[in-house]
A and B are shown apart, each in its own frame.
Chain A
Amino acid sequence: SQTIHQWPATLVQPVGSPLSLECTVEGTSNPNLYWYRQAAGRGLQLLFYSVGIGQISSEVPQNLSASRPQDRQFILSSKKLLLSDSSFYLCAWSTGLAGDNEQFFGPGTRLTVL
């Protein structure tokens, strides 16, 4: 069966420090991968998605970037964190196969920027 992992689960970082959040998927090949952000008490905002290694599409211009160095690894990064980057970050995957649309989420990373 497929599983999706995110780490760390929680992170507290000072303003101006770098960020690296990691997401990995097991049990599937060539998944579509997604990064979302969710502010407290609010809905989901799509940040990036990737349909293959090295292929990244950005949805919202911001202080963040994403990379996909391996088939089942998706990384969210920042060179210098802002206070407004505090949020709950969710990684998700789907097969990307026509007719198979289900999307599954990881447990999330709670980021607090002080």
Chain B
Amino acid sequence: GESVGLHLPTLSVQEGDNSIINCAYSNSASDYFIWYKQESGKGPQFIIDIRSNMDKRQGQRVTVLLNKTVKHLSLQIAATQPGDSAVYFCAENSPPGGTYKYIFGTGTRLKVLA
């Protein structure tokens, strides 16, 4: 559901290790999901998306996994780098397609340790 009024959890990862950021979504009818990266003072940046007819999608150093049974989404970042430090949000979009409301997860702050 809406992430209003919730403080962000933090994930600390050693540089070079893999990161896994999790998100539980609210609507079983949601058919499209996005992961965003937000650096301090900037707008969220689109990272990767996945549709509900897929379980896994890979990008450059990132993989998104979707488990519709438990309404769970994860973002895996391989070989985490200092530049990956940011807040990561998942967002879900429900039919009808292309409209209108995107529900954002709580957000997770990723800290990469040197």
Contact = CB atoms under 8 A, between A and B. Distances in A.
Interface of A: 6, 32, 34, 41-46, 49, 51, 57, 59, 88, 90, 92, 94-108, 110
Contacts of A99: 97-98
B89 A32 contact: no
Contacts of B96: 98
Say whether chain B's binding surface is mostly helix, strand, loop, or mixed: loop
Contacts of B55: none
9 contacts: A42-B3, A42-B7, A43-B4, A43-B107, A101-B98, A102-B34, A103-B93, A107-B43, A108-B42
Say whether chain A's binding surface is mostly helix, strand, loop, or mixed: strand
A43 B98 contact: no
Nearest to B7: A41
A32 B104 contact: no
B2 interface: yes
B98 A96 contact: yes
